Amino acid sequence: AQSVSQHNHHVILSEAASLELGCNYSYGGTVNLFWYVQYPGQHLQLLLKYFSGDPLVKGIKGFEAEFIKSKFSFNLRKPSVQWSDTAEYFCAVTPHGSSNTGKLIFGQGTTLQVKP
Amino acid sequence: GAVVSQHPSRVICKSGTSVKIECRSLDFQATTMFWYRQFPKQSLMLMATSNEGSKATYEQGVEKDKFLINHASLTLSTLTVTSAHPEDSSFYICSARLPGGDQPQHFGDGTRLSIL
């Protein structure tokens, strides 16, 4: 079965620290990849997405992610986090067989807590 | 742009009651909407994919007679939890998507359903 795994369930960082959140998926075919963020009390928002081309994608708020096909990974990074980055982060994939409907398979989420 | 409104945000009702949740795309037409369920500290689980003018596609294990989905227009999908019981208590989230293979999903704020 297709699945998405996020290795870090709860991450605590100090401001200005660097961030990397792991995401791996299990699917043998082509996928579209996403990172969503959910700030406290708000809805899910798209941080960035990968469909094709340059495997290093840049998103909003200084976030970036790198697709490594051989590792089935799509890790999220930010060089220097801020207190306002405190949120829940979700990795998600759409298998290409579902590209017409855009069906998303989510990871279990990572809670990021940034200490001021 | 791409705002999705979900209503109500919170519902508390007695066991046996049917509850309707609305999902509206406010500034775009969504041929496809999705309904998710999220348990505490867990990921979003896709319940069903709702296509305008046709029957919803339910994920394995989701009872279609329990969770009725209607997508009557390009801007509105509804989820009705019929004869709700305490085990149906959860956080329900909808999303909407523009047509096309490269369109991301846009999420509503979610509905917290509590069945007493």
Q: Which residue from A4, A46, A101 is facing B32, i.e. has the nearest CB?
A: A101
| Residue B105 and residue A93 in contact, taking contact as beta carbons nearer than 8 Å | no
Q: Which residue from A45, A102, A107 is facing B103, i.e. has the nearest CB?
A: A102
Q: What is the reported pLDDT for B101?
A: 64
Residues in chain A with CB shorter than 8 Å from the CB of B95 are: 44, 104
Distances (CA, A) of B6 to A79, B33, B80, B110: 35, 12, 13, 6
Residues in chain B with CB shorter than 8 Å from the CB of A101 are: 32, 49, 51, 57
| Positions in chain B whose pLDDT score sits under 50 | none
Per-residue pLDDT tens digits for A61-71: 999 999 999 99
Q: What is the reported pLDDT for B98?
A: 82
Answer whether A90 sits within 8 Å of B103, measured CB to CB: no
Q: What single DSSP character describes residue B104? A: P
For residue A100, pLDDT beyond 70: no
Q: What is the reported pLDDT for B10?
A: 96
- Which has more confidence, A29 or A77? A77
- Which has more confidence, A33 or B102? A33
> Nearest to residue B92, comparing CAs of B10, B3, B2?
B10
Residues in chain A with CB shorter than 8 Å from the CB of B32 are: 101-102
